[in-house]
A = this chain, B = another copy of it.
Amino acid sequence: MRGVVMHGPGDVRVEEREDPRIVAPTDAIIRVAAACVCGSDLWPYRGVDKVHDQPMGHEYVGVVEQTGPEVRNVKAGDFVVGSFFASDNTCEICRAGYQSRCVRAEPIGAIGTQAELARIPLADGTLVATPGTPHPDLIPSLLAASDVLGTGWFAAVAAEAGPGKTVAVVGDGAVGLLGVLAARRLGAERIVVFSRHADRRKLATEFGATDVIAERGDDGVAALKDLTGGLGAHSTVEAVGSQESMMQAIRATRPGGHVGYVGVAHDVRIPGEELFFSGVHLHGGPAPVRRFLPELIRLIWDRAIDPGKVFDLELPLDRAAEGYRAMDERRAVKTLLRP
């Protein structure tokens, strides 16, 4: 089969790779209908994370081709969506809703779904079948549910976005934009996005943002406080993962408010004393997308939400390198790849 391999920073190639096989009796093999490039794939692409001959991709939708003998919940022919962590969905941590930290969790990123086929471990716990074969125009949105929507959703839930709340969103990438969508669906009263890119501001507004602030860092915080009677947001989504964005999120939030952070932290050190006196709640991490998948699939199936709009570039798998480049250069918010 063909699949994407990152040989080093900036060096993305589509190559012939060995077809995946059932390894454990709980595995399934899926034929990938669509995959995509994640904002987190840019960390190794830019050389911030180490990378060497790594198969890429952890977001996926597709059709089950084959299942191991212990798989019960999905069968060949099912169209499925899965999370970027395989999970058994039965352990105590999964049952508490933290499937990305399942005691048997396996990162799908180690497998690489930017490919024609992928082996999905713990298929019963990881994969959720759609009600039928989706209309082709639903595929981008279902693919979004696999990570970027599920992650933005978790961030909004972690930030306790809801009725009567003012929600601030730090980061106008795909996760931040879908954090806006999630906050809107969760009933937030006011949604303020920090953005200086016209196309992203436009999409944020379509997804439900009520206000846009162009300033960043402490200037952005000051602008937000002006909008909120000096108090700050009730709920803040942090969807970047840098020191500046994390501190912006904490400072944007009122005492007793909630920060939901999902940007993969890079060289972040949170000063304890400032956090202490901020009085905020801080929760985040790798999103337990599996918790939300049934609900998100239903909303997409019913066309109640259209998260697939974050894909502004669609390419055949063979042109994956072009998709990475476009995101790296911020010409695209998010690239969808069709094997």
Assess A276 versus B265: contact at CB under 8 Å? Given A93-B255, A101-B256, A255-B101.
Answer: yes
Assess A272 versus B272: contact at CB under 8 Å? Given A100-B279, A101-B255.
Answer: no
When chains A and B are docked, how far (Å) is the Cα of A288 from the Cα of B261? 24
Among the listed B103, B275, B283, B286, which residue makes an inter-chain contact with A270, where contact means beta carbons less than 8 Å apart? B275
Assess A101 versus B285: contact at CB under 8 Å? Given A268-B271, A272-B267.
Answer: no
> Which residues of A (79-104) have their CB < 8 Å from a CB of B?
92-93, 96-98, 100-101, 103
Interface range, A side: 35 or more
**Interfacial chain B residues near A276, Cβ < 8 Å:** 241, 261, 264-265, 284-286
> Is B279 touching A272 in the complex (CB atoms < 8 A)?
no
* A229 smallest CB distance to B (angstroms): 8
Q: Closest B residue to A96 by CB, please name it.
A: B256
> Which residues of A (225-266) have their CB < 8 Å from a CB of B?
229-231, 241, 243, 246, 254-256, 261, 264-266
**Interfacial chain B residues near A97, Cβ < 8 Å:** 256
> Is B285 touching A283 in the complex (CB atoms < 8 A)?
no
When chains A and B are docked, how far (Å) is the Cα of A273 from the Cα of B255? 24
Assess A279 versus B101: contact at CB under 8 Å? Given A271-B268, A273-B265, A285-B255.
Answer: yes
A278 within 8 A of B: yes
> Is A279 touching B269 in the complex (CB atoms < 8 A)?
no
Among the listed B92, B266, B283, B288, which residue makes an inter-chain contact with A273, where contact means beta carbons less than 8 Å apart? B266
> Is B285 touching A282 in the complex (CB atoms < 8 A)?
no
> Is B92 touching A279 in the complex (CB atoms < 8 A)?
no
Assess A265 versus B275: contact at CB under 8 Å? Given A92-B231, A231-B92, A282-B281.
Answer: yes
* A224 smallest CB distance to B (angstroms): 15
What are the nearest 7 A-B pairs in CB distance?
A268-B272, A265-B272, A101-B255, A98-B256, A279-B285, A270-B270, A281-B283
Q: A241-B276, A267-B272, A276-B284 are in contact. List 7 more A-B contacts (CB 8 A).
A: A93-B231, A93-B256, A97-B256, A100-B255, A265-B275, A266-B273, A281-B281
10 contacts between A and B (CB under 8 A): A92-B229, A103-B230, A241-B276, A246-B272, A269-B269, A276-B286, A279-B285, A279-B286, A281-B282, A282-B282
